């Protein structure tokens, strides 16, 4: 069957002669639209359930169900259907009062010129497309923000000011903590040291002015509450508009860096839980003796597990294993709700 590509327009009126007249009057628009005509309420609802319409043109006064009730029923099946009401002159006040209540896009009095009705349908189709695009954009933005909030690093997008344009959750936490980075009263990112702020401003301007050809630059930012500084990478972001270029600050603190979970390491490298725990302990910087003590096993058992880990991960040195563990993505962690049963030792 040929895929449906034309907009679907539904016409509902309890008078057959009115529908037939509409069909004849709108014949020039048949190549553009798939027009369906029903004089039974049940048939129109069944057609909506089968394949929703983009626009519904409905008579307001019908004996079985009012046009406004039908519009509500069509919308309950598919909220994206926009409705146009056709009404007699005596029903104008009723139609006007119910436009907001029933989410009616337009209403026209009978008889309505074909050109005017077609123009209203075209406007409704344009509005439906705009709403769908906005909903899609909002959904994509929501997914993007949710993903960024799962990153272990702070993400702060700035303009050349450097004024804050956007942050993920971790980025906002870094700025709110005032421990190395903060936001000035004017909305600019700054550090706790004048010299470091000047260097940050220079790197941001470099990224913004040169744009995508600029390479990322790193900056160590001193902290008042820790001897270990924040690591900040300043990089340009692609922009279609040269007048609104921005840069991204990727911020990390050593104590907040997360290693992958036991489940993640276990699944990625086909390790048992014990083998995965040993690999993670080594990734945290512990030696084999300390790792064994932490796990409550003998050093001999730990060495046996390590040999198995080397074999399964295809590495031969502990340093290689540590790099492999540190490179594992933390976003693959499934959390307690989806945690798989422990693997046998």
Helical axes 318-326 vs 273-283, angle rounded to 10°: 90
- Confidence bin at 23 (pLDDT 50/70/90): very high
**Which residue in 171, 126, 169 sits closest to 149, CA to CA?**
169
Residue ranges covered by each domain of the chain: 8-142, 155-256, 262-338
User: Percentages helix, strand, coil for the chain, rounded to the nearest 5?
Assistant: 50, 20, 30
Residue-wise pLDDT for 165-222, tens only, equals: 888 888 888 888 889 999 887 789 999 999 999 999 999 999 998 876 678 899 999 9
Query: CA–CA separation, 16 vs 302, rounded Å?
Result: 84
Q: Domain spanning 155-256: which superfamily?
A: PAS domain (3.30.450.20)
Residue-wise pLDDT for 306-342, tens only, equals: 999 999 999 888 888 888 887 776 653 434 333 343 4
- Region 8-142: CATH code: 3.40.50.2300
Residue-wise pLDDT for 102-139, tens only, equals: 567 887 888 888 998 999 899 889 888 888 777 766 66
* DSSP letter for each residue of 173-208: HHHHHTSSEEE-TTSBEEESSHHHHHHHHHHHHHHH
Distance set, CA 91 to CA 60, 68, 86, 98, 113 (Å): 8, 12, 10, 11, 18
- Confidence bin at 251 (pLDDT 50/70/90): very high
The secondary structure of residue 260, as a DSSP letter, is P
Query: What value does the mean pLDDT take over residues 228-241?
Result: 84
Most confident stretch, 9-13, 86-90, 134-138: 9-13
- CATH 2.60.120.620 for the 262-338 domain, yes or no: no
Q: What is the pLDDT of residue 210?
A: 82
- Its pTM stands at 0.50
């Amino acid at each position: 069957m040929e895929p449906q590509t034309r907009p679907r327009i539904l016409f509902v009126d309890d008078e057959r002669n009115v529908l037939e007249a509409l069909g004849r009057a709108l014949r020039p628009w048949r190549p553009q639209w798939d027009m369906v005509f029903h004089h039974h309420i049940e048939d129109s609802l069944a057609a909506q359930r089968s394949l929703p319409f983009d626009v519904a043109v409905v008579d307001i006064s019908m004996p079985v169900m009012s046009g406004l009730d039908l519009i509500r029923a069509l919308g309950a099946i598919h909220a994206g259907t926009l409705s146009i009401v056709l009404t007699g002159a005596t029903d104008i006040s009723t139609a006007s009062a119910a436009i907001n209540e029933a989410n009616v896009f337009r209403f026209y009095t009978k008889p309505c010129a074909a050109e005017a009705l077609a123009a209203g349908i075209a406007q409704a189709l344009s509005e439906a497309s705009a709403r769908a695009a906005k909903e899609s954009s909002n959904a994509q933005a929501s997914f993007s923000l949710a993903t960024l909030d799962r990153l272990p690093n702070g993400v702060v997008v700035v303009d050349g000011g450097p004024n804050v344009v956007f942050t993920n959750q971790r980025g906002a936490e870094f700025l709110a903590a005032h421990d190395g980075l903060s936001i000035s009263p004017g909305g600019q990112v700054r550090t706790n040291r004048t010299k470091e702020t000047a260097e940050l401003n220079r790197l941001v301007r470099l990224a913004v002015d040169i744009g995508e050809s600029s390479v990322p630059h790193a900056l160590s930012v001193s902290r008042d509450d820790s001897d270990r500084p924040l690591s900040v990478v300043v990089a340009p972001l692609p922009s279609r508009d040269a007048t609104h270029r921005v840069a991204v600050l990727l911020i990390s603190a050593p104590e907040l860096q997360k290693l992958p979970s036991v489940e993640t390491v276990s699944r990625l490298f086909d390790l048992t839980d014990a083998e995965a725990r040993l690999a993670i302990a080594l990734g945290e910087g512990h030696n084999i003796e300390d790792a064994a003590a932490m796990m409550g096993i003998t050093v001999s058992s730990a060495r046996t597990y390590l040999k198995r880990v080397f074999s399964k991960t295809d590495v031969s040195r502990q340093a290689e294993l540590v790099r492999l563990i540190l490179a594992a993505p933390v976003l693959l962690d499934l959390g307690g709700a989806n945690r798989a049963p422990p693997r046998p030792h």
